[in-house]
Structure 1
Amino acid sequence: MGQRKTQIVVVGGGAGGLELVRLLGSRYGRKDHDIILIDRNLTHVWKPLLHEVAAGSLDANLDEVGYGGHAVRWGYRFFNGSLESVDRIARTITTAPLLDERGEEIIARHSIRYDYLVLAMGGISNDFGVPGVREHAMFLEDRPQADRFRQKLLNACLRTNHAHQTGDTQAAVRICIVGGGATGVELAAELYNAAKALRHYGLEVFDESKLEVSLIEAGPRILPALDEKLAESAKLELEKLGVNVLDNTQVVKLAKNEVHTGTGAVIAANLIVWAAGVKGAEEIRTLGDLELTRGNQIVVRPTLQTTCDDRIYALGDCASCMLPGRDRPIPPRAQSAHQMASQVFHNLVRAQAGQPQQDFVYHDHGSLVSLSRFSTVGSLMGNLVGGRMRVEGWVARMVYQSLYRMHLIAIHGWWRGLTLIIIGHVNHIIRPKFKLH
C-alpha cells in the first residue's frame, strides 16, 4: 500500500476558504495531499456583492464560482454538505445529511478524516435576541437569501405599479433596513438605483418616488467603521436620495410588516431586512468542545489555531482573534478573511515541515462604502497611503471596484482573474442592467 495522503479539510467556501483551497491546491496538488472543501452551497458569490444581487443590479449567474469546476482546476476536492460535528480525538468530522427541497435524502450523514482542519464557515446576522427577527425579517447572508429578497422586491414593485395604474396614488413599496453598517447603507442606495430604472423594464408608472426606505441604526451614527465626517457625508447622500435615516434608534420588536422601536414608534414595511451585527452560526455550538465567544465565534490564538487543538484553525467571520496590543478582535471584513487565509496557508506549510507557527499580522487598509452609482465614501489606511486618508467620489469608486478585482485574482490566479475582469467589463456593456427574473 502507498503512503497515506495528508488530508486537509476546509469547511466553508467563502472568500477566505475558497482562496485557501486554491493556494493549497496550487502548491500541493493531488499527489501527496487530499485537500477537501466542504460547503452547503454549490457556488460562491462574493458576500460584499449580495446587496447588488438583492436589488437586481447584479446577475449572480455571471459572477458566481462553481466549486466543482474550481476544484478540478486547482487540484482539490469539493464535497457538498454542512458540518455537523468534530471529533478531535479521532480527527474526523461528520457532515449532516444533505436533503432536497422535499426533505428527501440526497447524501447520507458522512464521516471525513483530517490531518488538519480549517473552519471558515463565515458568520450570520446577530439578532441580539430581538423578538420576531427570525420570523419576520430577511437576511443577506448568501445567494439564496439575496435571490429571495429580489423576488419579493419585484413582486412588491409590480403590485405598487398596478395599484397606481388603477387609481391608488398612495401605494408605495416600504422597506425597512435594520443596521447602519456597510451592508445596510449599500443596500439602501442600491434600491434607489434599481427603482430609477424599473420604468424602462416594463413598470410604466413606477420610479423612485414610489419607494420609501427607512434605515435604522441603534448607535449614534451610521457607518461606525468610518470617521464621523465621512459617515455624515454618506448620511446626507442617502437622505438626498430619499432614505429616512434613523440613528440612535433601538428596535425592540418585529411583527408582520411592522418594526417597533424603543421610542414607541411603529414603522410600516412591506419588506424588512436585518443587517445588524455579525455572530457565528448557531450550529457552531454543537460542533464539539472548541472555545467559543458569547457570539458563537471560535476563539483562536494569534497563529489562528484554536485554543484547544493545534491541528484546527479558524478564519474569517466565524473566528475571534485578539492580537497582542489590540483592545478588540479582528473585525469581520472581507479584507480580514483574505489576510487570514494567506496566514493559515503559510502556517499549514510550516506545520507540515515541522517549523514553528507564525502569528497573524493584520493590516487595516481602510473601509469603503459604495452608495451605488450615486457616490462612494471611505478611508484608506496603512502602507497604502502612508497614514490615513479620506476618499470620496470617483477615486473611492475606483478603489472600491478594485477590491472585487483583487478577490477574483485571489481565487482564480492572475491570468484567469484578469480574463474574468475583462469579461465583466464586456458584460456590463452588453448585458441588461437589471436582473428581474
Structure 2
Amino acid sequence: MEHTVDPSEHTDVQQTRRARRNRDSHAARIVVVGGGVAGLEVATALGKLGSDSIDSVTLVDSDSAHVWKPMLHTIAAGTRDLAQQQTTYLAQASDAHFAYQPGEMCGLDREAGEILLAPIYAPDGRELVAGRRLPYDKLVIAVGSGANDFGTSGVNEHCFMIDSRRKADAFNQEIRLRMVRCMASGEPLQVAIVGGGATGVELAAELVQLAESATAYGALGEAAKFRIVLIEAGPRLLPSFPEEISEATRVRLQALGVSVIVSGRVSCATEQGFELANGELVPASLRVWAAGVKAPEFLTRLGLQTTRSNQLLVNDAMQTSDPDIYALGDCASYTLPGQEAPLPPTAQVAHQQARYLIETLPHVLERPGAQTVGFAYRDFGALVSLAHYDAYGSLGKFGLFNGGVIRGRLAMLSHIMLYRSHQARLYGFWRGGLLWLIDLMNSRLRPSIRLD
C-alpha cells in the first residue's frame, strides 16, 4: 500500500522548518539513520568534509558496529572472524568527525524536524535510555532491509535469518553448539537454507567450507554427518544472474555435496524442517530463511510514499516525498527512466547512491534551490562467491564491456576488491591496505574457522 502526502501540509511543514533553520543557524544538522553500506559511507564522507554549510553529522543505529552486508554469510558460517571484520561506530565517528547515537528510529515529526528514537532496554528488560527526539535539517534514511517471509507459517518461530550482524553471529553461535553435539553423539547435523539468491548460495558454500575445516580439526568426525540443503522456489538458482551462471553454480554446489531443490515452494517451517507445497518434508535441525527482501515496517508510518515492500519512493535526487528527507540503499525504491523495475537492493546500488549524495548534498546546502544533476546508475555486473571453491561474475554493459561472464580466480579477486574498496572508503587507502595485510597474515596464522 502506498502512502501519499497532502501538498498543502507539505508546504506548511517546509515553511515551518525553513523559518526555524533561518532563526537558529545557516549550517545544517544532518542526521543519517542506518549504519550500513550507504549510511556509514555518507556519515564518514560528510563528517570528514568540514564544510561551513554543515553544522553537524550524526549517525543513528541500533547496533554498535557495522559489517559489510555481503560478508554476513561468512560471519554466520564462522569462516571469518566477526571481531576482525566489523567497524565499531564510536571509533569510526571519532576518526571521521561525526557523532554516533545508539538507538532505533521509530517515528518522525516532520513539522518539528525531529526523529523519534525508541527506548533502549537491557537484555533483562531494564530501560537503559528513555525514548528521545533528535533534531535534523536534512535527514538521510538508510536503514537497509531484511529477509521477507511472505507470511509463511512458522518462519519467525523456527528459522534463523542472517540479514544483520547480530543475527549472523547468533546463527554462528548456534551452529557451533550443534557441532559439539554432533561430535559427541555422532548424530547428523542437517542445515536447510530457503532462498537461492546470492545470500543463500554463498551461505551454502561457506557451510561446506566450515564442515571441511571442522573435520580437519577433528570437530565433526566424518564430513558425511554434516548435510546442507538449499531450497529455491523458482526454477533456477540466482534468478538475477545469467542462466549460464545459475546452472554452473548449481552443478558446482552439488559437486560439493549440497542438495539443491528448485521449484520448491515452502508452505511452512516447523521444528522438524520445511514442508513444501507438494507435501514433501525437508528435514533439518537448523533452518535458515534467506529469501526475499523487505524494508522495515515503521517506514510506512512516517507519512512518506512507500511501496508494498515498505521501501521509500525516491526521485532522481534520492529525495522522498519530503525534499528534506533522503533515502538510500535497500530501503529506497528508485526506477530508472525507461525501466519498469526499480533498482535491485544490492551493495553496488547503495554505494552509488551514497556517492551521489556525498557529492550533491553539500552543493544543495550551499546553494538552496539550485538545480542538481540527477542520479545516474551504472551497472557493473554482479558477483557470487562459493567460498574458496569458485566464483562467478556477470559483467555490466558499459564502455568496452558488453556483458559476458567471468569465473575462477578473476571473479574471486573481483569479489575481494569490492570489499577492500568499501574498507578504503571508510578508513582511507593506506589504513584500508593495512587491514587487508592483517587479514592475509591472520589467514596464515589463525584457524580457518571460528573454534572458540
Tell me the TM-score normalised to structure 2 length: 0.92
Is contact 1:179–1:276 with CA below 8 Å preserved after alignment? yes
**Equivalent position of 2:389 in the other structure:** 374
Deviation at 1:401, TM superposition (A): 0.8
User: 2:426 and 2:239 mapped to 1: Cα distance?
Assistant: 29
Residue type of the partner of 1:367? A
**Equivalent position of 1:42 in the other structure:** 64
User: 2:376 and 2:156 mapped to 1: Cα distance?
Assistant: 36
Deviation at 1:86, TM superposition (A): 0.9
Residue type of the partner of 1:186? E
**Equivalent position of 1:184 in the other structure:** 200
User: 2:354 and 2:146 mapped to 1: Cα distance?
Assistant: 19
User: 2:293 and 2:142 mapped to 1: Cα distance?
Assistant: 14
Q: How do residues 244-393 of structure 1 correspond to structure 2 at under 5 angstroms?
A: 244-286=259-301, 288-306=302-320, 308-354=321-367, 355-383=370-398, 386-393=401-408
Query: SS at the partner of 2:140?
Result: strand
Deviation at 1:434, TM superposition (A): 1.1
**Equivalent position of 2:210 in the other structure:** 194
Which moves more between the two structures, 182-191 or 148-157?
148-157
Query: SS at the partner of 1:364?
Result: coil
Q: How do residues 20-419 of structure 1 correspond to structure 2 at under 5 angstroms?
A: 20-28=42-50, 32-164=54-186, 171-203=187-219, 206-286=221-301, 288-306=302-320, 308-354=321-367, 355-383=370-398, 386-419=401-434
Percent of aligned pairs with the same amino acid: 38
Is contact 2:53–2:366 with CA below 8 Å preserved after alignment? no
**Equivalent position of 1:167 in the other structure:** none
**Equivalent position of 2:11 in the other structure:** none
Residue type of the partner of 2:196? G
User: 1:78 and 1:84 mapped to 2: Cα distance?
Assistant: 17
Q: Which runs of 5+ in 1 are unaligned?
A: 165-170
- Post-superposition CA distance 1:222-261 (Å, at most 9, x none): 0012111111000000001111111111111111132010
**Equivalent position of 1:168 in the other structure:** none
User: 1:256 and 1:420 mapped to 2: Cα distance?
Assistant: 41
Q: Which runs of 5+ in 2 are unaligned?
A: 1-22
Residue type of the partner of 1:279? K
Query: SS at the partner of 1:53?
Result: helix
CA shift in 2, pair 1:207/1:226, >3 Å: farther
CA shift in 2, pair 1:32/1:338, >3 Å: closer
User: 1:267 and 1:360 mapped to 2: Cα distance?
Assistant: 45
Is contact 1:257–1:272 with CA below 8 Å preserved after alignment? no
Deviation at 1:199, TM superposition (A): 2.8
Tell me the TM-score normalised to structure 1 length: 0.95
Is contact 1:44–1:67 with CA below 8 Å preserved after alignment? yes
Q: How do residues 13-24 of structure 1 correspond to structure 2 at under 5 angstroms?
A: 13-24=35-46
Is contact 1:16–1:316 with CA below 8 Å preserved after alignment? yes
- Post-superposition CA distance 1:49-85 (Å, at most 9, x none): 1111111100010111111111111111000001011
Deviation at 1:428, TM superposition (A): 1.7
User: 1:57 and 1:128 mapped to 2: Cα distance?
Assistant: 30
Query: SS at the partner of 2:80?
Result: coil
Deviation at 1:105, TM superposition (A): 1.4
Is contact 1:350–1:356 with CA below 8 Å preserved after alignment? no
User: 2:384 and 2:451 mapped to 1: Cα distance?
Assistant: 25
CA shift in 2, pair 1:374/1:32, >3 Å: closer
Q: How many residues align?
A: 428
Is contact 1:192–1:208 with CA below 8 Å preserved after alignment? no
Is contact 1:30–1:75 with CA below 8 Å preserved after alignment? no
Residue type of the partner of 2:160? M
User: 1:12 and 1:247 mapped to 2: Cα distance?
Assistant: 34
Residue type of the partner of 1:416? R
Is contact 2:266–2:274 with CA below 8 Å preserved after alignment? yes
- Post-superposition CA distance 1:162-219 (Å, at most 9, x none): 223xxxxxx311111000000000000110101011134342x524311111111111
Query: SS at the partner of 1:212?
Result: strand
Residue type of the partner of 2:285? N
Deviation at 1:436, TM superposition (A): 2.4
Residue type of the partner of 1:219? G
User: 2:286 and 2:300 mapped to 1: Cα distance?
Assistant: 30
Deviation at 1:32, TM superposition (A): 5.0
Query: SS at the partner of 2:175?
Result: helix
Residue type of the partner of 2:261? L
